[in-house]
Structure 1
Amino acid sequence: MNAALLVGAITEILMWVGLGAAVLFGALALIARLADGTWAPIRAVVMDEALRWFGDDGVHTAPLTPELRAAANGDELEAFHRVGTAGDVRLDERSPLPRLLGGVALACGGVGVLALVVQIVTMVSTG
């Protein structure tokens, strides 16, 4: 088998797999981002093993986890509350999952595009 044919076959497979995986992981990243919802910054107070803060619709309460207790500065805590829920609180505004899936999508897309470039260069050089 000729080396150009071998390179062409390998790059064809890598191109389709890379671009297909990029579309799949990009769609998953978008779905994960939309499912995560909107998180608003809050300043909560630690009281009786719970967090309490004022929202637009009244006083909210959430259980105090060890992670939140460690991040508290005295009896106050800067955190994020999920809009539309009663007691969802976390320390980061964005979930790391959409960023991870987006990075994987970019890497797969890069492999697909690189394989396409190698395929074109091989085709032109052996032409």
Structure 2
Amino acid sequence: MDSAELVATVAEVIGWIALSGSLGCLLLALIIRLADGRWLPTDAVVVDQEHGSTVRWFAEGAFHQRRLSDDERAHVVDAEEERAYYKEREPDRLRLHEPPAGRRAIRVVGLVLLSVAATAGLTSTVLMLVG
């Protein structure tokens, strides 16, 4: 076995390992996306009243509003306008914080592993054809 065959074999093994890892990560990201849905950014307005605070936002062609808990109001900046995120399928649901980055990190890891698998597969194929 010469060095080209050895490198081709190692690249193929790395490619299969990276491919299985990437499929696992991308599948997990898809499951999380299906369970949690998609959150879209919007501008929300916080209105302080005697009996508590209310947040109002425009989504899917309609205005929505809900009351803020004391915890949520404590985390809102003193400005009236706040960046918020509403659920695409249920525009009545609103988050005042960005959706967790875990799903995005899992998706990025999956895409990186997929590119490693593609590069390893291409390297293995080229070395087998040349060698």
TM-score when normalising by structure 1: 0.71
Query: Pairwise mapping of residues 108-123 of structure 1 onto structure 2 (< 5 A)?
Result: 108-123=113-128
1:112 shift after superposition: 0.3
1:84 shift after superposition: 7.5
Q: Does 1:62 align with 2:68?
A: yes
Query: Pairwise mapping of residues 94-113 of structure 1 onto structure 2 (< 5 A)?
Result: 94-113=99-118
> Which runs of no fewer than 5 residues in structure 2 stay unpaired?
none
1:22 shift after superposition: 1.3
Contact 1:36/1:95 (8 A) holds in 2? no
Residue equivalent to 2:14: 14
> What is the Cα-based RMSD across aligned positions, in Å?
3.2
Q: 1:118 to 1:67 in 2, by over 3 A?
A: farther
TM-score when normalising by structure 2: 0.69
Find the aligned partners of 1:22 and 1:108 in 2 and give their Cα distance.
5
Find the aligned partners of 2:12 and 2:86 in 1 and give their Cα distance.
47
Deviation readout 1:35-93 (Å, 9 max, x if unpaired): 22354634332457x6413587x8522324487323x41x443423453777x52233x
Query: How many residue pairs end up in the alignment?
Result: 122
> Which runs of no fewer than 5 residues in structure 1 stay unpaired?
none
Residue equivalent to 2:37: 37
Contact 2:5/2:127 (8 A) holds in 1? no
Residue equivalent to 1:53: 55
2:82 to 58, 77, 86: 77
**What fraction of aligned residue pairs are identical, expressed as a percent?**
22
